[in-house]
Amino acid sequence: MDKKKVCMVGDFSVGKTSLTQKFVNNVFSEQYLTTIGVKIDTAIVDETKLIVWDVAGRDSLSPINLSYLVGASGIALVADGTRPETVDDLHSIWDTVEKRIGKVPTVVALNKRDLPEWSVTPEQIQSLKERGWIVFETSAKEGVEVEGLFTQLCRLIQ
């Protein structure tokens, strides 16, 4: 069986862990626990064993630990659809990732689609698509587009 490492990256509290847990274990928790460093899970998708690295979020005081990204076959950029600034941040996050590991297949999860505070603009989505990324409007809570996100990423890296 083929093994592929993928990394979930984005700002703090955008739902990287929730998306990973929903996909791997079909579980969602309302309790927020900050990821320290990295959490690693595995899942089988189309004869490929995905090794999912849930990398601690980034803010202005703590950048992404780029060493966790080495060897990644693909990246899932995650933003919080109720915090538009996290969507805009994906561009600078990607620039940092690309400098470290080069161009790799990338998908985008605009998470928390189930919340009424959703405020992502069509222009923001267009700016992500213009970078060549496939954009998913996900809800880790309801499971919306979670499987599609990981399945598409797996297809891109095979």
DSSP state of 66: G
pLDDT digits (tens, 9 = 90+) for 23-67: 999 999 877 667 766 889 999 998 899 999 998 777 654 566 788
56 vs 140: which has the higher pLDDT:
140
CATH number at residue 85: 3.40.50.300
Q: What is the total count of domains within the chain?
A: 1
| Residue 21 domain boundaries | 2-157
Over range 14-20, report the average pLDDT.
96
Q: How far apart are CA 23 and CA 147, in angstroms?
A: 6
The structure's pTM equals: 0.93
